[in-house]
Amino acid sequence: MSVNRLKEAGLKTTAMMNKVPFQRGPFFFLLALLTTLACNKYDEVQLADYRPEFAIPLLTSELSMEDAFSRFGDDNFITVDADGFMTMNYFGDVTARQSSEIFESIAQTEGTFPLFDTISALPFSTPNGFDLDYALINSGTMQILYAMSFSEPVTFKARFPNLITPNGEVYEYNYFHDDPNFPLFVHPQVDLTGYTLVPTRDSLFIEYHVLLESSGTRVRLDTIGLTLVDFTASYVEGYMGQEIYEIPRDTITIDFFENWTFGDVYFEDPQIKVSVINSFGFPVRSQASIMDVIKADGQVITLESPFIDSINIDYPRLDEVGGARTTEFVFDRSNSNIDEVLSGVPIALDYEMRALANPDRDTSIRGFMTDTSSFRVQVEVQLPLYGRTNGFVARDTIDVDFSDYEQVTSAEFKVITENDLPLELELQAYFLDSEDAIIDSLFSGPRPLIQAAEVNAEGIVPPSSSNEVTTFIEVDGQRFTNFQQANRVLVTLAFSSYNGGQTSVRIYNDQRVEVRMGMKLEVQQ
């Protein structure tokens, strides 16, 4: 095999590496590194101990933590503070309870209601202790109907002291009924849009008078009723009662761990953040009916905290109609068992929230709702990259093709790594046939590939504390022949933080790994 042929084979290796599918999780960092390296030109590498005619300088490049996330468009879940410290953030869907759902429940005054006296009180019924002070009517119609048995004309007058017209006047209706041959009368529909309702003792009062034309004598009608249709309000004010508003259940997937097979990760400062934007003008208490973390091994652990059912949500006051207030609450190690819940390998947070209106039943608090009011909730899992891991094993498979390498009697790879990440990494690769049976492995056992940089007492890598390691990977001709039979490679990576996983470390965006790689092939002449 000529040197040119070897270089062609090397180019095929680069193409192969570009086939690697991206998988989110610890494995992605190495894939990001390898793909970044594979995309670079064949820079010269120091290979003085190799015979030049058979040595192929493959690559040299470096990758920072920030590059690793951004290269695969996965930096949308990473935040970086002013010092470069990194945090993983996983968000649930924004869930909401709209005012239209609630207005449907309070607008129950609809139908035909008989009036039994010349002064009648029509109860304005509302659920759960709702005490209405004021309502701006958005839609609806009203009709009066009556029957009488008088043989002479009458004057009908009706007054609604709780119903105010758009002009600011009490609504009144006057009608001269001059045809006794038609004793049944239906009042024309009144469009209530823009009217206001100011109930008295939770009632809508109606006063009517019927006077005989001949004598002015006041009489009572045999039958009279009031019909309300499609009554809705754009604004209501009063004591809103106590009611539970359910918010749909949701699950947050923590896909960083999707390729986990073994080992643990311990986060020093994990958090679950609940954010609520409330434009309802009354007190609300958020309650978590479900707040469970699911582990990779199937274990389910419930978040426990004295505040799990008692997060008081701020609300706009009567002079802030149309506005909203935001409440944020964080479950952390000081107020919950979150260190237990989010240790190990958490893969999902399953939660269901609800809102309790007027939790203290304080009727002196007069609140409001508009037709655009809403209660919006978002839950976020925050995992600052400060913690420790010991033997955290991730795995994935990649497609390979060594068929273009001919007459190889031995191969040797030289990998030089310079690392200022406080993480060490061991690698093993299993070569699989078309049935996913193991043909061979790259090493007899897991092999150190990257050595962790040293850290100080705060878990921070001091300046100029990077660690350099040189690794040789030798493969004889028979084993290389085995590799050529492989269709896929199962790669396992074992991560540990500094000091064998006994020390908690901090990850920063500018921490980097530099890799230089060369390959030497012995071929049959």
Residue 190 backbone zone (phi > 0: left; psi -120 to 50: alpha; other: beta): beta
pLDDT for the residue 142: 92
Q: Of the segments 326-340, 399-413, 492-506, which one has the largest average pLDDT value?
A: 326-340
Structure tokens of 264? Answer: 């643990």
Residue 437's DSSP bridge partners are none
Distances in whole angstroms, Cα of residue 73 to Cα of each of 70, 320, 348:
5, 41, 21
- Phi and psi angles of residue 103, each rounded to the nearest 5 degrees, phi first: -60, -30
The set of residues, in sequence order, having a beta carbon less than 8 Å from that of 394 and lying 6+ positions away, is 25, 26, 27, 259, 260, 261, 492, 493, 495
Residue 357's DSSP bridge partners are 284
- Phi and psi angles of residue 35, each rounded to the nearest 5 degrees, phi first: -65, -40
- Phi and psi angles of residue 36, each rounded to the nearest 5 degrees, phi first: -60, -45
Angle of helix 26-38 relative to helix 3-17, nearest 10 degrees?
A: 140
Residues of the chain with CATH 2.60.120: 100-239
Structure tokens of 148? Answer: 């009488």
Confidence of residue 445 (pLDDT cuts 50, 70, 90): confident
Residue 304's DSSP bridge partners are none
Rounded-to-integer distance, Cα 333 and Cα 309, Å:
17
Q: Work out the number of other CB atoms within 10 angstroms of the CB of residue 358.
A: 21
Residue 128: pLDDT over 80: no
Residue 349: pLDDT over 70: yes
Residue 464: pLDDT over 60: yes
- Which of 366, 359, 227, 348 minimizes the C-alpha distance to 290? 348
Find tokens 């839950």 and name the residue: 379
Structure tokens of 456? Answer: 């100080």
Beta strands in 115-267, from DSSP E residues, in sequence order: 119-123, 131-147, 154-164, 170-177, 184-186, 190-191, 196-197, 203-212, 218-219, 223-239, 244-246, 250-253, 260-267
Lowest mean pLDDT among 145-159, 203-217, 239-253, 396-410: 396-410
Confidence of residue 41 (pLDDT cuts 50, 70, 90): very low
Q: Kindly give the pairing relationship between strand 78-80 and strand 86-91.
A: antiparallel
pLDDT for the residue 2: 37
Find tokens 């006051």 and name the residue: 317
Rounded-to-integer distance, Cα 442 and Cα 429, Å:
5
DSSP codes joined into one string, 18-55 = TTPPP--SHHHHHHHHHHHHHTS-------TTS-GGGE
The pLDDT tens digits of the residues spanning 371-382 come to 899 988 999 999
Structure tokens of 101? Answer: 């759902």
pLDDT for the residue 127: 60
pLDDT for the residue 151: 84
The pLDDT tens digits of the residues spanning 72-115 come to 445 558 889 999 999 999 998 888 888 877 666 555 456 788 88
The pLDDT tens digits of the residues spanning 5-34 come to 333 433 333 333 333 333 444 444 554 554
pLDDT for the residue 129: 76
Structure tokens of 122? Answer: 């029509």
Rounded-to-integer distance, Cα 497 and Cα 52, Å:
38
Confidence of residue 187 (pLDDT cuts 50, 70, 90): confident
Residue 39: pLDDT over 70: no
Structure tokens of 284? Answer: 């609300």
Which 3 state secondary structure label does DSSP give 76? helix
| Angle of CA points 340, 311, 294, to nearest 5° | 30
CATH code of the domain occupying 100-239: 2.60.120
- Express as a percent the part of the chain with pLDDT over 70: 82
- Express as a percent the part of the chain with pLDDT over 90: 35
Give the predicted TM-score (pTM) of the model: 0.75
| Contact in structure between 517 and 412 (CB atoms under 8 Å) | no
What is the mean pLDDT of the segment spanning 198-222?
Answer: 89
Rounded-to-integer distance, Cα 229 and Cα 113, Å:
11
pLDDT for the residue 26: 46
pLDDT for the residue 447: 75
Q: Of the segments 116-125, 219-228, 446-455, 511-520, which one has the largest average pLDDT value?
A: 219-228
